[in-house]
Structures are given as structure tokens and as C-alpha cells.
Amino acid sequence: MTARTALGASSGVAEDAPVVVAARRTWIGTAGYGHRARTEVDLAAAVLRAVTDDTRAAGVEGAVADVVLGCCTGPGGNVARVAALAAGLGVRVPGLTVDRQCASGLAAVLLAAQQVRAGDARLVLAGGTESASTAPARTFRGAPAGYARAAFTPVPWADPQMGAAADALARRRTVTRERQDAYAVRSHARALAAHAAGRFDAEVVGVGAPQAGPSRVPTAGRGRLDRDERARRLDGSRLARLPAAFTPDGTVTAGTSSPVSDGAAAVAVVPEAVRRVLGVPGLRLVASATVGCDPAEPGWGPVPATRAALDRAGWSVDDLAAVEMVEAFAAQVLAVTDALGLDPLGGDERVCADGGALALGHPWGASGAVSVVRLFSRLVRAGAPAGTRGLATAAVGGGLGVAALVEVVR
């Protein structure tokens, strides 16, 4: 047994340690297509119901203490509370909506873990949801036109658009166009292989008819996705001919950027004491870190966040068996993996082994939670032994990074 699976086995795990015991996501749709008539609540309610059913099937008893969901572009209000009610969890279950942009779903899971670790809850559902297709247009009162996004920083701090920031990061960290193209081909090829092998099937819940009652979206397009919509066979030679998408002299293209997407993901978090009594496997949330970095270089955030989390856990990158990184841009992923000593283009199977957001899609508020669902499938559902370790991490506009370290317990 290697160090990656032998270290930190589940013996001696504290009873209040937070553990993920169920994890689900929707298929991810490209904005304007497969989920175009589904709201963020429709998507979230589907995964909340599925995760609740999974926890009950595993023998977890007692009421859900809270629902924590990430969401970036929803209609406002408390999306988590609305989704909890729509999922049929009952009026006594509250809700908390989190906006940490592309790491919102991961931040929600970490907040749930904190509730469990503090002894305030014995079952929390957490994750994220995003419906870019139905998100409302926003405008300042009296302004002649709407705006695409809120400011991530105040003047005079840099506040680049994410594509331009990825171009700048590629220049600073010497990530070539050829490597970006190769990584995009890798992501799509792996996602297609995972689809063909059925490796996503156990983690996904289909989204059926939306909840009854008035809807703010048209009735057209209420079909049911049966795969992640974005993944396709990429031709490297054609990819190489795509023009720069964001800056005139840039290397980032539409083919090496994640699409705007719709989707949701959720997990169930309980204390180790509950998991141990039930005898079910899970992912223990061992350590995490949320850090700031230069707002001009937002894609760099996972580097200091991962290093801080590893330091808190006393682990090294070599101890990790699986890494899920939100693939906003191929340039950003490669800059981070280069800095951390990972080499996905050199045969390192640990990084996004079944593809990531480049191929599956990037529903902003949900993507961090999708990473946790993917780790659950890759490690727990796949039968990895106790002590096997993983990392989920995401970069955030405005200059942030979030990282979470997990370990299989059985």
C-alpha cells in the first residue's frame, strides 16, 4: 500500500469530525440549452431530494438541521431556504445562501462541516446551484443599461474580466497555447470516456418536471438531460486554429475556457460518530483554507490555499490520490498544477481524472460542490481504502482561493 492510501487511516478519528456520507449532482447543461427552463431552485431541489433519500437509505435518522447552498447569479433572497421547501424538507429546516463566486459550492460544504464540528448540527445538506439561463438581468437604479457582473474589487484595485485574467496568468506563469490546447483535449476526452463507462451514473440525479405552480420562465425546453451537455470530441488541430477570445495577443480561446452553465450539486455532512454507528463509508473533511491573493491574478488563489490546507493537515501533495480543481480555464489549471508539482499532461492521473469544468461545464455557484461529489465518486464509490486522500480547490474572482482536504473513512 502506498503512502497515498496508508497514511491517516480512519482509526482514532474524532467523533465530531465532519464526514460526507452522500453526494449527488445534476447533469450539467450549457446555458440556454438543456436546462434552459430550469431555475436554480428546480436544480437544487432535485439534488437535495436525492441526497436526503440517500442518507435515509443509509440509515441516517433525525431531521436535517440546515441547508447551505452556494449561488452567484440567482434572483436574490435566500435560495437555500426556497430550495429546501421545494425539496419537501419541511418548514423547520432553515437555509443559508453563500456567495463566494466560483468557490461558493465548496464554501457551503465547509460551512456545513463547521456546523457539524462545533456540535451545532448532526445532519447538514450543503452544495450549490446555478441557473445562468434564468438568472435575472441586473441594473443600477437610474442607469441606462444593465451590467454583466458586480465589481470584485474597489478602485484602485485591479478587477480584470476572468478571460483576460487567464491570459495574463498564462503570460506570467509561461503556460503556452500548445499546453492549454492539450489540456482541453484531455479534459474532454476523459469526460467522454467517463460517460461511456458509466462512471457518472451513480452520482447524478435527473431533473424532471419543475415544481408545480407559477414559473418565471417559459414552458419550452423542459426536457430531461441524460448526459453532461458540453463534453465532445475535440480535434487538436482545429483547436489550434481558434483565435484568442479575450485579449488581442492572448493565448486563451473559447476551446480552452469553461462554458457558462446550469447545474447543482449537494452533499450530506454528519459527525463521524453517526457514520461509524451506521457503518457506511464517507469522506472526512480534514482541513481547509480560504485565502486572498493579488486581485489582478485571481486564478492563482488555489496555490496558496492548497499550501495552507496541506500545512494545517501535515500532508504533502505526494499524499494526495485524487485532485479535483475547478477548470475555469486550461491556462489557470496548468499554472496552478505547475506550482503545486502536479503534471496532468505528463501522465499524472490524479488531476480531474474524469474531466472537469472545461468539458462538463461550470455552473459557478455549484462547481465547488461538484468537485466534492466527484471526489466522493472517485474515492468512496470506487472503493478506495480507508486513509486515501483527496483535494478539492477553486479559484475566485477578486483574488481568492479555497481548498479542502478529504480522507476516506470506512
Closest CA relative to residue 372, chosen from 300, 296, 265: 265
In this prediction, residue 152 carries a pLDDT of: 95
Q: According to DSSP H, which parts of 173-271 are helical?
A: 177-197, 236-239
Looking up cell 440546515, which residue turns up?
66
Secondary element (H or E) of residue 270: strand 261-271
Is 155 within the bounds of a domain? Answer: no
Is the four-CA dihedral 324, 330, 335, 337 of positive or negative sign? positive
Is 251 within the bounds of a domain? Answer: yes
Is 268 within the bounds of a domain? Answer: yes
Is 144 within the bounds of a domain? Answer: no
In this prediction, residue 148 carries a pLDDT of: 86
- Strands 282-292, 96-98: parallel, antiparallel or unpaired by DSSP? unpaired
Q: Give the angle 128-390-377 at the CA atoms, nearest 5°.
A: 60
Contacts of 281 by beta carbon, 8 Å cutoff, 6+ apart: 21, 380, 408, 409, 410
In this prediction, residue 249 carries a pLDDT of: 93
Residue 39: pLDDT over 60: yes
**Dist. CA 125–CA 211, nearest whole Å:** 20
Is 397 within the bounds of a domain? Answer: yes
- Strands 320-325, 282-292: parallel, antiparallel or unpaired by DSSP? unpaired
In this prediction, residue 3 carries a pLDDT of: 39
- Give the CB-side neighbour count of residue 376, counting CA atoms within 13 A: 31
Is 380 within the bounds of a domain? Answer: yes
Asked if omega into 156 is within 30° of 0 (cis), the reply is yes
Domains identified in the chain, total number: 1
Give residue-wise pLDDT tens across range 187-200: 999 999 999 999 99
Give residue-wise pLDDT tens across range 55-70: 999 999 999 999 999 9
Residue 362: pLDDT over 70: yes
| Band of residue 209 on the pLDDT scale cut at 50, 70, 90 | low
Closest CA relative to residue 49, chosen from 14, 13, 84, 8: 84
Closest CA relative to residue 67, chosen from 87, 43, 40: 87
Residue 184: pLDDT over 90: yes
Closest CA relative to residue 263, chosen from 30, 103, 66, 23: 30
Return phi, psi of residue 400, to 5°. Answer: -140, 155
pTM (2 decimals)? 0.94
Is 146 within the bounds of a domain? Answer: no
**Dist. CA 205–CA 49, nearest whole Å:** 9
Give residue-wise pLDDT tens across range 295-348: 999 999 999 999 999 999 999 999 999 999 999 999 999 999 999 999 999 999
**Dist. CA 33–CA 360, nearest whole Å:** 14
What is the span of the domain harbouring residue 340?
A: 3-135+160-409
The CATH number of residue 183's host domain is 3.40.47.10
| Band of residue 208 on the pLDDT scale cut at 50, 70, 90 | confident
For the chain, the average pLDDT equals: 93
67 forms beta bridges with 125
In this prediction, residue 12 carries a pLDDT of: 76
Residue 264: pLDDT over 60: yes
Span 359-367, mean pLDDT? Answer: 98
Work out the angle between the directed axes of helices 330-340 and 177-197 (0-180°, nearest 10): 100
Is 141 within the bounds of a domain? Answer: no
* Weakest-pLDDT range from 16-25, 80-89, 223-232: 223-232
